[in-house]
Structure 1
Amino acid sequence: MNKSELGLGTWQFGPSYGFWTDQDQQASRSVLRFACKHGIRHFDTAPSYGKGLSEQLLASVIQTREDLVVCTKFMPKNPELVRKDLQKSLARLKTDYVDILYLHWPSSSLAMKPILSAACDLIQEGLVRKVGACNIPLSYLKEMEDLPITALQIPCSLLWVRSLAAFRQYAQDHQMDLVGYSPLGLGLLGGKYAKQPEDGRKDLYVFKSEAYKEYLSLLDLLGQLADRKGCTSAQLALVWARSQGFSTILAGARNLVQVSQLLATSTLELDEEEKSLLDEKAHDLTSCAPSSWDNYFGHRW
């Protein structure tokens, strides 16, 4: 299986939901410049990341689109607001179009199809190249197969493998770009957080009861395999994600050391035994989450 393209996610540049509250803006710009200089061409942002700050930081560094892929998102409100919200994002990004516009989080209290249909209409206007859905249940997608939704973004992390195979098969069957985010588990797979962090990550299921033991076991295995390969646990977690059959894996970095480590994963490989060991640990951990959950945030639609 070919290794996925590496893209840069930018949630960490715009603090939101109690995450990344101490990120330095100059460090963010440095990461973006370094990423562009060293071959990253896929950048993913959202207006909810720092209330537009992430989009603005991206625009401050990207002076020309060239061969870059720039993606942003919108939250479901009503069909009439989709275009208006995109125009606000385009103004912050200082661009005339985005390559992919994702519905960010669907809502069970709203009819999603008219909202996504309004987003698809923007393709004809040249404001959007593709429309995608992020964090969407397969049951929702199956109701919208007559719409030109051609990109699907889901978590791809050792912290959460529930339904991974089903999403991968769906994307393949429907010729959709499959984009994975959070391969480092919001930073929790780097081995630094054996204890609960102080920010919003402390509420994730991995720190609850039975899951916590499995999480520590996963960290231990990552550490052992990383030592064997002469890399970091975070790099190994990213290599695993890049072996999962996604077109693009979005990883986050908060400084130049981290983005350099992300780029170095292009020369690392897992053998079948290593991959199998990690798969087993990931399934053991994910099975500790409530059976009703379909995302590792426990978000209810």
Structure 2
Amino acid sequence: MQRIVNRHGLDMPKLGLGTWPMLGDECTRAVTEALDLGYRHIDTAAAYNNEEAVGAAMAQSQVPREQIHVTSKVWWDRLNPEDMRASFDNSLRALRSDYVDLFLIHWPAQDWDLARTIDTLVALKEAGRARAIGVANFPLALVREVVEVMQAPLAAMQVEYHVALSQANLLDFARRHDMALIAYSPLARNKVSEMPAIQRIAARHDVPPTQVALKWLLDQAGVAAVPKASSRANQLANLASLELRLDDEDRALIAGMPKNQRLVSPAFAPCWDEA
């Protein structure tokens, strides 16, 4: 499976398994099956309440821990240094690991000491407990402040990204700073299956629309995707997207689609239009 490797210590398969909102035994079973099928990138978070289930799956898997990329995240209400370290320690205990491969700030807070938060994040990387660090759901202005002003060695950003939502500005920034962009909700919460342009491309290739939408992302340099897939059938279908070959006509159809359908914007979300 193709990987993203960058100078910030990141070494991550482009296709991962998203685990939200799976819990308990369902999550453990899904992660176990995914590892058996060849997935080596698992995405979780403290706020998902399933790190323990992910840890159980890794513990019972025959795949060595060092071959699995694990991303976890700290929630926006735990971003003062003491709470952040405690959340990180809890994540490691739940995952039954002494490190995570990528540790992200899950959402920016609205009233916080950004410098202290970033210093704490960087300290986790410097201690080797987080192999790489990054942010999720940060608007461009905030990412720019962290990377260009604070000079934090961010390896990745995770944002909602799919065929119906442009992230061109963030992607351009990520590439200029050798960062990965990880797409969550890459299938637009399965709405891609209802989009005429995607349906047309899927019919041409005789594949499900989800594979078209996923491959469009995975074909992009520096972009990874973490679709949630609880069933073996969906996990296999997502893996099969790697074999699909989109052509210029396909890409032109997708380029012509509206790109303003943001599906994830909770009350505590930042102002997305900050440039």
Same fold, judged at TM 0.5 (above)? yes
Residue 278 of structure 1 aligns to a residue in which SS?
helix
Bigger relative contact order, structure 1 or 2, given CA contacts below 8 A and separation 6+?
1
Q: CA deviation at 1:147?
A: 1.6
Partner of 1:44: 43
Tell me the amino acid that sits aligned with residue 122 of structure 2: C
Partner of 1:56: 52
1:150 aligned to which of 151, 155, 163: 155
Q: CA deviation at 1:45?
A: 0.4
Whether the aligned pair in 2 keeps the contact of 1:102 and 1:131 (CA below 8 Å) is: yes
Pairing 1:238-249 to 2, within 5 Å after superposition: 238-249=214-225
1:81 aligned to which of 71, 79, 83: 83
Q: CA deviation at 1:130?
A: 1.1
The TM-score normalised by the length of structure 1 is 0.77
Which runs of 5 or more structure 1 residues have no equivalent in the other structure? 15-24, 192-218, 290-294
Q: CA deviation at 1:168?
A: 1.4
Q: Given the alignment of the two structures, is residue 135 of structure 1 paired with residue 137 of structure 2, yes or no?
A: yes
Residue 141 of structure 2 aligns to a residue in which SS?
helix
Partner of 1:120: 122
The TM-score normalised by the length of structure 2 is 0.84
Give a deviation string over 1:7-37, Cα, whole Å, max 9, x none: 11111314xxxxxxxxxx5443332222212
Tell me the amino acid that sits aligned with residue 170 of structure 1: F
Pairing 1:1-301 to 2, within 5 Å after superposition: 5-14=14-23, 25-49=24-48, 52=49, 54-63=50-59, 64-76=64-76, 77-145=79-147, 146-161=151-166, 164-191=167-194, 219-283=195-259, 286=260, 296-299=263-266, 300-301=269-270
| Identity rate, percent | 27
Residue 109 of structure 2 aligns to a residue in which SS?
coil
Distance 1:247 1:160, change over 3 A: closer
Tell me the amino acid that sits aligned with residue 186 of structure 1: R
Distance 2:201 2:72 in 1: 35
Which runs of 5 or more structure 2 residues have no equivalent in the other structure? 5-13, 271-275
Give a deviation string over 1:67-89, Cα, whole Å, max 9, x none: 11111000233122111110111
Q: CA deviation at 1:261?
A: 0.5
Residue 46 of structure 2 aligns to a residue in which SS?
coil
Whether the aligned pair in 1 keeps the contact of 2:179 and 2:222 (CA below 8 Å) is: no
Q: CA deviation at 1:104?
A: 0.4
Give a deviation string over 1:75-134, Cα, whole Å, max 9, x none: 233122111110111111111110111000002322323112111111232211111001
The alignment yields a C-alpha RMSD, in angstroms, of 1.9
Q: CA deviation at 1:58?
A: 0.9
Q: CA deviation at 1:234?
A: 1.2
Distance 2:206 2:164 in 1: 22
Distance 1:30 1:87 in 2: 24
